[in-house]
Amino acid sequence: MATGSDAILDRMMALHPKVIDLTLDRMHRLLAAIGHPERHLPPVIHIAGTNGKGSTQAMIRAGLEASGSAVHAYTSPHLARFHERIRLQGELISEPALTALLDECVQANGPDSITFFEITTAAALLAFARSPADFTLLEVGLGGRLDATNVVEPRLTIITPVSIDHQQYLGETLPEIAGEKAGIIKRGVPVIVGPQSPEGLAVIEARAARMGAPLLAYGQHWHVSEDRNHLIFQDETGLLELPLPNLPGPHQIQNAGAAIAALRALGRDEAACEAAVTRAVWPARMQRLRHGPLVDMAPDVELWLDGGHNPAGGQAIAATLARMPTRPTFLICGMLNTKDVTGYMRPLAPHATQLYAVSIPNEKNTLPAETTRDAAISAGLPASAAASVADALSAISATHPAARVLICGSLYLAGAILRENG
Domains along the chain with CATH numbers? 4-278 (3.40.1190.10), 287-420 (3.90.190.20)
Q: What pLDDT score was predicted for residue 14?
A: 66
Answer yes or no: is pLDDT of 312 > 90. no
Whether residue 351 contacts residue 329, with contact meaning beta carbons closer than 8 Å, is answered with yes
Q: What pLDDT score was predicted for residue 167?
A: 62
pLDDT in tens, 150-192: 999 999 999 999 986 656 557 678 899 999 999 999 999 999 9
Question: What separation in angstroms does the CA of 55 have from each of 46, 136, 256, 308, 365?
Answer: 14, 16, 8, 12, 25
pLDDT in tens, 102-136: 999 999 999 898 999 999 999 999 999 999 999 99
Look at 214 and 5; give whichever has higher pLDDT: 214
Instruction: Name 2's Cβ contacts closer than 8 Å, sequence gap at least 6.
Output: none
CA atoms of 41 and 291, how far apart (whole Å):
38
pLDDT in tens, 336-380: 998 889 999 999 999 999 999 999 998 989 999 999 999 999 999
CA atoms of 36 and 321, how far apart (whole Å):
46
Query: Can the peptide bond before residue 401 be classed as cis, meaning omega within 30 degrees of 0?
Result: no
Q: Rg (Cα) of the chain, in Å, rounded?
A: 21
What integer best gives the mean pLDDT of the chain? Answer: 93
Work out the number of other CB atoms within 10 angstroms of the CB of residue 188: 9
CA atoms of 145 and 151, how far apart (whole Å):
10
Answer yes or no: is pLDDT of 4 > 90. no
- For residue 77, what pLDDT band results from cuts at 50, 70 and 90? confident
How many helices (H) and strands (E) are present in the chain, helices listed first? 16, 17
Q: What pLDDT score was predicted for residue 22?
A: 73
Question: What separation in angstroms does the CA of 267 have from each of 65, 66, 67, 237, 260?
Answer: 14, 14, 11, 11, 10
| Average pLDDT of the residues in 9-37 | 82
Whether residue 292 contacts residue 246, with contact meaning beta carbons closer than 8 Å, is answered with no
| Average pLDDT of the residues in 14-43 | 86
Question: What separation in angstroms does the CA of 155 have from each of 49, 135, 188, 266, 354?
Answer: 18, 9, 10, 9, 47
CA atoms of 191 and 170, how far apart (whole Å):
21
Q: What pLDDT score was predicted for residue 12?
A: 73
Instruction: Name 90's Cβ contacts closer than 8 Å, sequence gap at least 6.
Output: 61, 65, 70, 71, 73
Answer yes or no: is pLDDT of 70 > 70. yes
